[in-house]
């Protein structure tokens, strides 16, 4: 017998699904049944998501100014909201929690319209468009980096941190291993769906410019798009650098734990996982993000000395080669960065968020939850 159903809604990217997955594990451990509403993009993550059922509800984003596209999107959203209302009426969840991305809009609109306790979790330091559209309607807002006490929704915002998956918490148990002397140096490179292409060119070009002695120490794990993978592999083979190159890694937490240095984008989940595991990173914010949310996320960990932030336009192959050379020559400096990164981590974010969800589901207010928390 469960305590009831909690319905989670998340866009189909890892940035939205990973914190939802972490919350799902916590809620199930607390005796709840968890259902997920998402889109077809989530299929590659579905194997590890602990949902009792996964539901796909029609949704769309209104990103085009073309009147025909706008009308189609609005119709899809209306269809999705009707489907979400039917789903919620059947499941009768205790609460509905959104994690951003346009697939969250229909179920959260349906929930708020039906009087079901609802809240959103915003992973980034800047609120995304879907969550902005929902913020005034939901009962509570949890934030990964959003500060409490400021902004239009300060009264109902709680900074919980970003929940990280059990695999990340397990990886956090591995102490940082400095590569001293001629010891192998494990470099992990990933960019997500909106960054792997850039790194597929920039990182191999930088490694080409390293001294032979440094290249012989390198071991690379790199995410690359399917269309770039063969070229990246060929470059590393030519250089004699052992490399594991793939469009997607199911064990990325373990690979980060094995790393001496990480080069990556600065999405909210990425920054949160790096902080919890405690690994030094070169963060290159995605330059075309509409709200520059990645730059704001990166600033949070960089301010504590846990990472260095470099604008993509300024990261030439020569500069990156110099950064790698300096990093490999100064293992103690990297160890200090790793320690500073860990200081910013919030490994208990999933527990705190689950407590907040349970409070909202039981009819408690955000003010009451804050009082009990402190």
What pLDDT is recorded for position 73? 74
CATH of domain 168-344: 3.40.50.2000
Give the H/E segment covering residue 8.
Answer: strand 5-9
* Run of H or E including 27: helix 14-29
The reply to whether CATH 3.30.70.20 applies to domain 5-163+347-373 is no
- The confidence score (pLDDT) of residue 197 equals 85
Question: Quick check: 287 pLDDT over 80?
Answer: yes
For the chain, the domains span 5-163+347-373, 168-344
* Mean pLDDT (whole number) for 356-366: 95
Q: Which stretches of 52-206 are assigned E, i.e. beta strand?
A: 53-56, 95-98, 118-122, 140-143, 157-159, 185-190
Q: What band does 374 get if pLDDT is binned at 50, 70 and 90? A: low
pLDDT value of residue 13: 77
Is 217 annotated in a binding site? The answer is no
pTM over 0.75: yes
Tens digits of per-residue pLDDT, 67-97? 777 678 778 788 888 999 999 999 999 999 9
Each residue's pLDDT tens digit, 170-222: 999 999 999 999 999 999 999 865 567 899 999 999 999 999 999 999 999 99
Tracing tokens 């959003």 back to the chain, one arrives at 146
Residue length, the chain? 374
Q: Known binder of ligand: residue 294?
A: yes
Please state the separation of Cα 237 from the chain's center in Å. 31
Judge whether 193 is annotated as a binding position: yes
Asked if residue 292 lies in contact with residue 126, where contact means CB atoms within 8 angstroms, the answer is yes
pLDDT band at 45 (very low <50, low <70, confident <90, very high): low
Q: Indicate if the pLDDT at residue 58 is higher than 90.
A: no
15 is in an annotated binding site: yes
For residue 41, pLDDT over 80 is answered with no
- Those residues with Cβ within 8 angstroms of residue 81's Cβ, 6 or more apart along the chain or in another chain: 105, 106, 109, 110
DSSP state of 308: E
User: Would the annotation count 165 as a binding residue?
Assistant: yes
Work out the pLDDT band at 48, boundaries 50, 70, 90: confident
Q: Which two tokens stand for residue 130?
A: 């879907």
Residue 98 in this model has a pLDDT that exceeds 70:
yes
pLDDT at 366 over 60: yes
């Amino acid at each position: 017998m469960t305590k009831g159903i909690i319905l989670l809604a998340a866009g189909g990217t890892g940035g939205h699904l990973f914190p939802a997955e972490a919350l799902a594990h916590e809620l199930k451990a607390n005796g709840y049944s968890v259902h997920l509403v998402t889109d077809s993009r989530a299929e590659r993550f579905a194997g590890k998501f602990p949902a009792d059922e996964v539901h796909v509800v029609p949704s769309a984003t209104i990103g085009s100014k073309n009147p025909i596209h706008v009308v189609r999107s609005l119709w899809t959203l209306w269809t999705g909201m009707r489907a979400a209302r039917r789903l919620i009426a059947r499941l009768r969840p205790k609460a509905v929690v959104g994690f951003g991305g346009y697939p969250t809009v229909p179920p959260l609109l349906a929930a708020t319209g039906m009087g079901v306790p609802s809240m959103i979790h915003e992973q980034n330091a800047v609120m995304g468009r879907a969550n902005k559209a929902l913020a005034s309607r939901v009962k509570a807002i949890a934030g990964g980096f959003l500060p409490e006490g400021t902004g239009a929704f300060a009264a109902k915002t709680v900074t919980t941190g970003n929940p990280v998956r059990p695999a990340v918490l397990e990886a956090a148990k591995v102490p940082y291993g400095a590569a001293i002397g001629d010891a192998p140096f494990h470099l992990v490179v990933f960019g997500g769906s909106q960054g792997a292409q850039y790194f597929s060119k920039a990182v191999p070009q930088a490694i080409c410019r390293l001294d032979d002695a440094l290249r012989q120490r390198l071991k690379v794990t790199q995410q690359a798009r399917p269309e770039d993978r063969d070229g990246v592999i060929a470059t590393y083979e030519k250089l004699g650098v052992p490399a594991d190159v793939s469009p997607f890694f199911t064990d990325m937490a373990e690979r980060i734990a094995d790393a001496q240095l990480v080069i990556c984008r600065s999405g909210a989940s990425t920054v949160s996982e790096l902080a919890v595991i405690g690994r030094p990173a070169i963060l290159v914010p995605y330059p075309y993000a509409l709200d520059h949310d990645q730059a704001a996320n990166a600033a949070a960990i960089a301010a504590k000395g846990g990472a260095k932030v470099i604008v993509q336009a300024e990261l030439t192959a020569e500069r990156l080669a110099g950064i790698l050379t300096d990093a490999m020559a100064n293992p103690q400096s990297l160890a200090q960065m790793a320690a500073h990164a860990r200081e910013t981590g919030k490994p208990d974010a999933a527990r705190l968020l689950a407590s907040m969800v349970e409070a909202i589901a039981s009819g408690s207010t955000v003010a009451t939850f804050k009082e009990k928390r402190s």
